[in-house]
Amino acid sequence: MTSPTAPGTVNFKGLPCILLQRPAGNRALIALHGAQVLSWVSADGREHLYLSPRAQLDGQGAIRGGIPLCFPQFNQRVIEGRKLPKHGFARLLPWQVVEQAPGPAGHDQAVLRLTPAQLTPALRQAWPFDFEARVSVTLTARQLDVAFELVNTGDQPLPFALALHTYLRVGDIGQTRLEGLQGAGYWDAVAHPQNPAHIEQERQPGLTIEGEFDRVYRSAAATTLRQPDHALALSQGAELTETVVWNPGAALCAGLADMPADGYRHMLCVEAARIDAPVWLAPGACWQAGQTLQTL
C-alpha cells in the first residue's frame, strides 16, 4: 500500500481504495472500483478473504477475489432480454464515496454509491432504469458487515438480481468443511448445467469440496466455515434467499487467466444471493439486504 491518492483513500497497487482500521489492528480494504471489499484482516493478523495474486487491478475489468457485487444480474442469466456483462455492471464501474467515518460504538464504516450517471451510454441503453445503489461496509471487533441498498428513483418497476460473491481464504480446500446447509434443496450446476429445475436435497451435515463444485442452495440459513485452526460464521438477510457455493477445481482453475493454477486450493466462494427469480422493485421503493462474516 502506498501514499494516499485523495482525501480518505489509499493506493493499493494503483487502485484507489478506502482503508477501515480499528485500534486492535483489524482492518478492511475496499476498492472504489466496484465498491469491492478486497481484504478483511482480523486482530490476530489472519486474512479471511481470498484475492488472487493475478487479479486485474487496473480499474477496467472484474477483480478476482474479495467480495465482488453481482448486480443487476447474476452470471449470464439475462433479465428481461437485456444484454448486460456477465454478473452485471456494478463490479465494473467506479463508485462514489458517500461516507467514511467512525460509526456508533466504535464501528468503522464506509458507504459508496452508484447511480445511472456512472453508467456508460451503452450500459444506460441496456439498462434504462433510474436507481440509486449503496454499499455499506462496517468493521467491528470480530466481524465484517456488507450491506446493499437499492432505491428505485424512476417511474417504472425495476427488475434485478443480486449476489455478494464472497471469496473466502482457506489454508487447504481439502481440509475445509462448510456446515449449515443440510436439508436445503440445491441445483448442481456441474452435474446438470442446462437444467436449473433439477433440485436435489443436501443430506450431508457438512460439505467437503472435491473437484469442481458449483451449487445454488435454496437457503438463507447461517453457515459455518471450519478449518483445522479456526472457524468463520456467515449469515445473510432473509431477502437473500439463496446461497451459492463455488470452487473451480483444478481443471477449471488452470484455464482462468486471473488465477494461479493452485488458486482453487486456497479459496471457497460462499455467496449470499437472490438469483433464482428477479426482484421487481416498485417506483419509489427501497430494498435492503446484506451478509455478515464473524470470527469464532
What is the rounded distance in angstroms from the CA atom of residue 95 to the CA atom of residue 134? Answer: 9
Catalytic member of 87, 165, 202, 242: 165
Q: Is 59 helix (H, G, I), strand (E, B) or coil?
A: coil
Neighbours of 92 (CB within 10 A): 21
Cα 111 to Cα 146: distance, rounded to the nearest angstrom = 10
Percent of the chain with pLDDT over 70: 94
Could you give all domains of the chain from N- to C-terminal order, each with its CATH number?
Answer: 10-295 (2.70.98.10)
Q: Do 192 and 160 touch, CB atoms closer than 8 A?
A: no
The pLDDT assigned to 84 comes to 86
Nearest to 30 by CA among 110, 89, 141: 110
pLDDT score for 102: 63
3-class state of residue 120 by DSSP: coil
Active site residue 271: yes
80 classed as catalytic: no
User: What is the pairing mode between strands 242-247 and 213-217?
Assistant: antiparallel
Task: List, for residues 174-199, the tens digit of each pLDDT value.
Answer: 999 999 999 999 999 999 999 999 99
Catalytic residue among 33, 48, 242, 271, which?
271
Give residue-wise pLDDT tens across range 198-211.
999 999 999 999 99
> Which three three-digit cell numbers place residue 46?
489472519
The 10s digit of each residue's pLDDT in 104-132 is: 556 689 999 999 999 999 999 989 999 99
What is the distance of C-alpha 204 from the center of its chain?
A: 25
The pair phi, psi for residue 118, each rounded to 5°, is -90, -5
Q: What pLDDT, on the 0 to 100 scale, is given for residue 25?
A: 87
